[in-house]
Structure 1
Amino acid sequence: MSSKSMDLIVVLTLSVFALLSVQTINGVTVELIHPNSPSNPYRNPTNNQFDWIRQEYDNTRSRAAFIHSRLRDDNPSKFKTEMMPYGGGYFMKYSIGTPPFETYAIADTGSDVTWTQCQPCTGCFPEISPIFSPANSNSYQTTLCNSDTCSIFGSICSDQKICQYYLTLGDESHTGGEVATDTLTIGDGSFTNVIFGCGDNNVFFPNVTSGVVGLGYSSVSIVKQLGNKIRGKFAYCLSPQPDSKSYICFGTDAIVSGPDAVSTPIAVSLDKTTYYWLSLESISAGDKNFPVKQSSTSDTSGQTGNVIIDSGTTLTIIPADVFDSLKSELMKQIPATPVDDPRGSFGLCYSTSDKFKVPKVIAHFSGGADVALSPPGLFQQVDEGIFCLAIIPDQDLGIFIFGIMSEVDYFVGYDLKAKRVTFKQSSLQIAPNFKLRSIG
């Protein structure tokens, strides 16, 4: 790693997640793995330190198209590449079955179904890690078509009256197989009879993941299934650096509170229940504020939402007009000359030789939740000595996403019972030669 890339190393003081020794299943904490970390078994070893963020630009665009397709039941043809439903998320280690079979999956708030590849495969995509075999689990059970479990999953039936699932994941990718229940182990907590998809017919992008841990809002997601066992709460703290630790926790460990914590309501409409919709009222840079158009969705209580907070999307997508205003203002306030992205993707870039300072950029959510974006998440190094804004404009899809780069260095807590998301800035220790300091 170059000395310039070392400038962005952030050491997280994870005070909220101090309860790493879990005594009950009400509180469990496990480490999350950065997608570009050497510890990620699905990381391409031939990639350099910048390839992943380059890929995440494409993945973010593709993810927005995928969400657009799900919400509107269409198939956007303007994207020439296949739609990638995953790729930007942090990886979570967990176990399935009895005895526990350890595997990795993307922890995704933008997905509701938890699924993994299963043996024997009629059509599995290539995978680096071993594949789960139900025959080796004493607690694995298929579900019948007339069961409540099958109706919750909203699935189809086989000729043997076994409940089946089928998910379309992109232009040509999909996963299908049995709807089953088994024991799910997360850290020190074990949860029995958890519903998941045991996929034996999968067409997917090889070596991206073995599956997904669905953390979405619908009734089939893990957080809804575990319900009172985790008190309807989960939280995570993400580091922007591959060599720093990140965490996700459930239950009593997931209480994010304190004088600096800010909360905003979750708006959920009946036809869009997978996603966590928030109301982003405006974005400010320094003392300039740029309103964001409202009313993408609303729930029965009148809460409105216009942006999805999504742990499976890397970059933040905002309306094109807001992006243009933000970019223009940043160019005025940053005392350096912008440079072109060598590959023409990112809209605002600077050279580190300028030692530029970053104005404070704040996302203003409803309920007075003002979230100041962390400088290491706001600008990402995309080439040697080139840092680019990790916010991009919408391309006429009307899908706005608050991605993980805008969430880094925060404790982000989800309370499904209270229907709110809480942000609390983590304690940071910035490296002395860190060049992207915040102004003010």
Structure 2
Amino acid sequence: MKTMALLKSCITCLILSLLSITCSSSSSPHKHFQILDVSASLEQTRQIISPNSSPTITNHQPPPSSSNSLSLTLIPRSSLPSATTTINNYTALTLSRLARDQAHLQSLLSRLESPVKSGLSQDSGEYFARVGIGRPAAQLYMTIDTGSDITWLQCRPCLYCYPQSDPVFNPRASSTYKDLTCLSPQCVSLRASTCLAGGCLYQIKATSFSYCLVDRDSNSSSTLDFNSTRPADSVVAPLLRNPSTDVYRYVGMTGIRVGGEAVKFPASLLEMGSDGSGGVIVDSGTTVTRLRREVYGLVRDAFRNKTKELPAAGGYSLFDTCYDLSSLSEARIPTVAFEFGGGKTVALPARNTVIPVDGGGKFCLALAGSGKLSIIGNVQQQGMRVTYDFANNFIAFSPNKC
């Protein structure tokens, strides 16, 4: 009887302990672990290379608009009309993405000292907007790249055009086209303005813009919005300016958490140096988030320590932390969260943390090491509305606002 009573007591204590853990977990701002739907991810890898996939507009929660706002449809590269003509398996798709990402990264880093270059000339660009320019409107695909400092398109006459699938825009065919002079405020404000026959070759003006990047493997679309109001539940972080260059917008990132625990490293490793080096930028054109090597090593090790129950697999391309999830329908993934000033945190969904690299069940941690500059890439931004407010110098992250 005493043994039975003791057993009941232990069971009661265990139940109460579990309840206590559940209550504690539910009251925390973010779950320390999340469930990755492996089966659904692998099914999506099979569908994305299907020639029958086509983009569909899905704007579940559009941002509040104002009288001078503009909204454009935004789609991933895989949903472009010709996206599946040369890709016949997911491994090839992944390798092509990573090759473009590496080319884009090198271009991004070189812009500090080089003239503006087209990302498309390097087959870059992972998200595109279909934009109507002029009247009557000429429909053009434009790359969405927040790592570039200007918005521009090729126009006739074009002496050194790079190849593009759409016809080169003819400004003389538009009844609303008007030249800006080289001395206009819009042209003078550019870092590297260019003139042709007394006319400025660039720009568009907006005090704010936002976008939401849908899953790169989906055939869905979202929106790119100008002069719209940020969602009320946004996590706001300061936009910082680099005294050495106006090319990029930096964000005040202060730390990283893995599985609810802060990864310990000096905050200075994420800060911009007095010489303008280092710091963190948010770039929709970079696929994989790059962290300063010292920071990446610590984040990776923390992630590995919390995924020891998952079957490890060899590295893949630039990824050094991979898992064989082919025998699992679900996987328990530690939450990776980015910390900003004032204790504000953005937690990444499991699908933004580990991604499939083939169609057979190999998944990898979608982070990599870099030099002094850290970059929050588009894999980690998926499913979030990212708002840039230049009038008030902040960037805002709003999960689930596509």
TM-score computed with the length of structure 2 as normaliser? 0.75
Residue 337 of structure 2 aligns to a residue whose secondary structure is strand
The answer for unaligned runs of 5 or more in structure 1 is 75-81, 164-178, 181-194, 197-221, 227-231, 429-440
Note closer, same or farther for the CA distance 1:114–1:413 as it changes in structure 2 (3 Å cut).
closer
1:155 corresponds to 2:193: yes
Tell me which residue corresponds to 2:85: 45
Which residue pairs with 1:62 in the alignment? Answer: 103
**Matched residues in 2 for 1:144 and 1:18: separation?**
35
Whether contact under 8 Å (2:337, 2:348) holds in the other structure is yes
Contact between 2:277 and 2:372, CA under 8 Å: does it hold in 1? Answer: no
Query: Is 2:364 the partner of 1:365?
Result: no
Matched, 1:340 2:314: yes
Write out the 4+ residue segments of structure 1 that deviate beyond 6 Å after TM superposition. 82-86
- What is residue 406 of structure 1 aligned with on the other side? 380
1:31 is displaced (CA, Å) by: 2.0
Deviation of the 1:50 alpha carbon: 4.1
Q: Is the 8 A contact 2:112 2:247 kept in 1?
A: no
Cα drift, residue 404 of structure 1: 0.9
Q: Which amino acid aligns with 1:403?
A: G
> Paired residue for 2:155?
118
2:50 aligned partner: none
SS in 1 for 2:210: strand
User: Which of 161, 170, 176 is residue 133 of structure 1 equivalent to?
Assistant: 170
The answer to whether the aligner puts 1:267 opposite 2:304 as a matched pair is: no
Q: Which amino acid aligns with 1:123?
A: Y
Shift of 1:298: 7.1
> Structure 1 pair 350/265, CA: closer, same or farther in 2 (3 Å)?
same
Aligned match of 2:399 in 422, 425, 428? 425
Displacement of 1:264 in angstroms is: 0.8
The answer to whether the 8 Å contact 1:339/1:350 transfers is yes
Q: Which has the higher strand share?
A: 1
Would the aligned equivalents of 1:269 and 1:297 in 2 still touch at CA under 8 Å? no
Are 1:329 and 2:302 counterparts? yes
Q: Which residue does the alignment assign to 1:320?
A: 293
Tell me if structure 1 keeps the 8 A contact 2:44–2:218. Answer: no
Q: Which has the higher contact order (CA 8 A, sep 6+)?
A: 2
Q: Is the 8 Å Cα contact of residues 187 and 193 (structure 2) preserved in structure 1?
A: yes
> 1:56-95 maps to which residues of 2 (within 5 A)?
56-72=97-113, 87-95=124-132
User: How far off is 1:104 after superposition?
Assistant: 1.0
1: distance between equivalents of 2:157 and 2:113? 35
Question: C-alpha displacement at 1:317, in angstroms?
Answer: 0.1
SS in 1 for 2:110: helix
C-alpha distance 296-94 of structure 1, shift in aligned 2 (>3 A): same
In the alignment, is the contact (CA less than 8 A) between 2:103 and 2:124 conserved in 1? no
**Which of 392, 413, 416 is the aligned partner of 2:368?**
392
1:382 to partner: Cα distance: 0.9
Tell me how far 1:262 sits from its aligned partner.
Answer: 1.5
Could you tell me how far 1:33 is from its partner in structure 2?
0.6
Q: Which amino acid aligns with 2:285?
A: G
State the Cα distance separating 1:307 from its structure 2 match.
0.5
Tell whether the 8 Å contact from 1:277 to 1:305 is kept in structure 2 after alignment: no
* CA positional deviation for 1:83: 11
Check the 8 A contact 1:314/1:404 in 2, yes or no: yes
DSSP-derived class of the 2:97 partner: helix
Amino acid aligned to 2:161: C
How big is the shift at 1:256? 1.9
Q: Which residue of 2 aligns with 1:176?
A: none
Q: Structure 2 CA distance, aligned partners of 1:238 and 1:110?
A: 15
1:87 maps to a residue whose letter is: S
Give the CA deviation at 1:304.
Answer: 11
Pairing 1:17–2:62 present: yes
C-alpha change, 1:298 and 1:50, in structure 2 (3 Å) is: farther
Q: CA deviation at 1:419?
A: 0.9
Shift in CA distance, 306/278, structure 1 to aligned 2, threshold 3 Å:
same
Aligned residues between the structures = 342
Q: Identity rate of aligned residues, in percent?
A: 27
Specify the alignment match of 1:378 in structure 2: 353
Decide whether aligned partners of structure 1 residues 319 and 353 sit closer, same or farther in structure 2, where only a CA change above 3 A counts: same
Asked if 1:5 is matched to 2:42, the reply is: yes
Q: 1:378 offset after TM fit, Å?
A: 1.2
Report if aligned partners of 2:279, 2:372 keep a CA contact under 8 Å in 1. no
Instruction: Call closer, same or farther: CA 1:278–1:99 in 2, change over 3 Å.
Output: same
Give TM-score scaled by structure 1 length: 0.69
1-structure distance, mates of 2:57, 2:84: 26
RMSD: 3.3
Name the residue aligned to 2:220: 244
C-alpha distance in structure 2 between counterparts of 1:123 and 1:84, whole Å: 11
* 1:7 Cα deviation from its structure 2 partner: 6.0
Residue of structure 2 aligned with 1:105, choices 131, 136, 142: 142
User: Equivalences for 1:162-241 in 2 at 5 Å?
Assistant: 162-163=198-199, 179-180=200-201, 195-196=202-203, 222=204, 225-226=205-206, 232-240=207-215, 241=217
1:436 is aligned to: none
Deviation of 1:15 after TM superposition, in Å, equals 4.8
Q: List per-residue Cα deviations over 1:288-321 (Å, max 9, x = no partner).
A: 322351332579xxx9981000111111000112
> Post-superposition shift, 1:361?
0.9
- Equivalent position SS for 1:124: coil
Task: Tell me which residue corresponds to 1:295.
Answer: 271
On the 8 A contact 1:280/1:366 being kept in 2, the answer is: yes
In structure 1, what residue type is equivalent to 2:133? I
Deviations along 1:315-339, whole A, 9 cap, x unmatched? 1000112222222222221121210
Structure-2 residue corresponding to 1:350: 323
Structure 2 unmatched ranges of 5 or more: 1-38, 48-55
Cα distance in structure 2, aligned partners of 1:124 and 1:113? 18
Q: CA deviation at 1:362?
A: 0.7
Higher helix share goes to which structure? 2
